[in-house]
Chain A
């Protein structure tokens, strides 16, 4: 009995660490279809480049389960959850009963309808197995196609390029990173990517993948055919809710949760990429599949399950930090204001050094920010967004080189320096 966690990534660890802060003994079982010790999925691109070894992929020290008295059931697939009987059913028929359940099954790659998608040599790029598979055929690849110019696609493309493979990114929109960046930023990065030897095809898509035993080529929407030995599909991720379809669990795109990470079913919590939780910038419930939100949601669920009912989820919002072609970038919140109504954009672009900073405000509250090239102290803006601070008095200083806590009004600064989270 006790707590059962389905999933073994950021949310699971967040929950475990929170539970153990409150209760050192509450039984915890972690079930994951992946056979691996807890590792960091975003790091697989570093594994692919060869920058890190498998050992460094692990997210917590090797004694993490023992130290936290976790019963790990790894490489075990959950086939059914019986919410009435409070039990999960594994592939081999074994049933594990729970008092409280945390569903943190994460996301899964979104797969488009493309002919030949199941040809050998076509992979997604979210899990360790994906990286391993790509690594195993790397020697035979001269050219790779990456479908999708989002964050995952770019990281995969860069990693492959570092392995001296010719890479072409095919993006449906007219710019890469169209969801997290604006045009100026995309252009800076596209230019740099091209310099790195990565080819970009935008406003286009792969319609078919050819090859008998292995991928041989792809055909684009405009009819063009490109030879390739590897195709990486990185169009996006969707909440991994397959297991719960048809159950009583309240699901939209993801599992709906409140600020306690509770689902509509008693004793059942959910956290991470699988959820639809409150977004305090967009002011709605939506998926925000990013690492910090996953950990934090896990943590909230953990505290709640362990009995600390006061610790709640204050909401999350989109934010990403990624280095592309050696340019560090951070984007968060609303980067492209949907209208002019009440929005204000403060931006500065230094063409010579490729440094671009953009802050988006609505009614004097920062709701989004974009940093290209210079990301120092970006966290201050994250905080301003998160707390909804009125920045009327000091927004003029946002783009000063010396912007910092010193720019805040004294009262706010004092509060900030003395109140630690």
Chain B
């Protein structure tokens, strides 16, 4: 399946991926509205890790044998049969954080706006190229088979 890969040697920690992830997951999909009007502001599904001059963006790896899928006791996490992406039924989620506990990358977050549910990368379902990859100014994120 197509996945997002990071080239840490070219990530410059600008966090545009985070910004565009927020925009993509906002109601309006408009950067100004997403940041200035929409309350609560949409949350990014991508996180930028940084230490000194090292930085890289990280989001769900959409594993072949995902721990989160095994641990999810509500049945909210599932694999999309077409794309292979690990997706999340917000409605089914009870916020037990089993997925947070087992994700080896630590990329499943808690969405505490409203009903507590897990939050993760959906590979921008519907977009040909995920927003973070499309908007990385230095091609530090790659979307390819792997």
Chain A residues close to B by CB (< 8 Å): 10, 14, 40, 42-43, 46, 51-52, 56, 58-60, 291-292, 295-296, 299, 319-323, 328, 330, 332, 375-380, 382-383, 386, 402, 404-407, 410, 413, 416-418, 420-421
Contacts and interface: CB of A to CB of B under 8 A. Distances in A.
B110 A328 contact: yes
Contacts of B71: 291-292, 295
Interface in B85-128: 91-92, 94-106, 108-110
B94 A292 contact: no
Interface stretch (B14-22, B29-37, B47-55, B132-140): B47-55
Contacts of A42: 73, 96
Contacts of A319: 101-102
9 smallest CB-CB distances across A and B, nearest first, come from A377-B106, A383-B104, A379-B103, A406-B49, A292-B71, A321-B101, A295-B70, A59-B75, A380-B106
Contacts of B50: 402, 406
Contacts of B108: 379
Contact of A407 (B51, B56, B61, B73): B51
B65 interface: yes
B51 A382 contact: no
Given A406-B51, A406-B56, A421 B63 contact: yes
A376 B49 CA distance: 14
A421 B92 CA distance: 25
A332 B101 contact: yes
B62, B70, B74 — which one has the most chain A CB atoms within 10 A of its CB? Answer: B70
Interface residues of A: mostly helix, strand, loop or mixed? helix
B67 to A, nearest CB: 7
Given A59-B75, A292-B70, A405 B105 contact: yes
Given A40-B75, A380-B106, A382-B101, 18 more contacts: A43-B94, A56-B74, A59-B73, A292-B98, A320-B101, A321-B98, A330-B100, A375-B97, A375-B101, A380-B104, A380-B105, A406-B55, A410-B54, A416-B104, A420-B61, A420-B62, A420-B64, A421-B65
A58 B75 contact: yes
Given A404-B49, A407-B51, A328 B6 contact: no
Contacts of A417: 5-6, 8, 56, 58, 61
A3 B115 CA distance: 40
22 contacts: A42-B96, A43-B74, A51-B94, A291-B98, A321-B96, A321-B100, A321-B101, A323-B96, A330-B100, A332-B101, A375-B110, A379-B101, A379-B102, A382-B67, A386-B104, A405-B106, A406-B54, A417-B6, A417-B56, A420-B3, A421-B65, A421-B104
Contacts of A58: 75
Contacts, number: 125
B110 A292 contact: no
A321 B103 CA distance: 12
B144 to A, nearest CB: 12
Contacts of A296: 70
A10, A40, A375 — which one has the most chain B CB atoms within 10 A of its CB? Answer: A40
B73 A40 contact: yes
B98 A402 contact: no
Contacts of A59: 73-75
B41 to A, nearest CB: 18
A228 B91 CA distance: 36
A319, A377, A418 — which one has the most chain B CB atoms within 10 A of its CB? Answer: A377
B101 A323 contact: no
A328 B97 contact: yes
Contacts of B74: 40, 43, 56, 59
Nearest to A41: B73
A17 B71 CA distance: 14
A43 B98 CA distance: 12
Nearest to A10: B73
Nearest to A379: B103
A380 B104 CA distance: 5
Contacts of B106: 376-380, 404-405
Contacts of B47: 404
Contacts of B110: 328, 375-376
Contact of B73 (A43, A376, A413): A43
Contact of B63 (A43, A292, A413, A420): A420
Contacts of A43: 73-74, 94
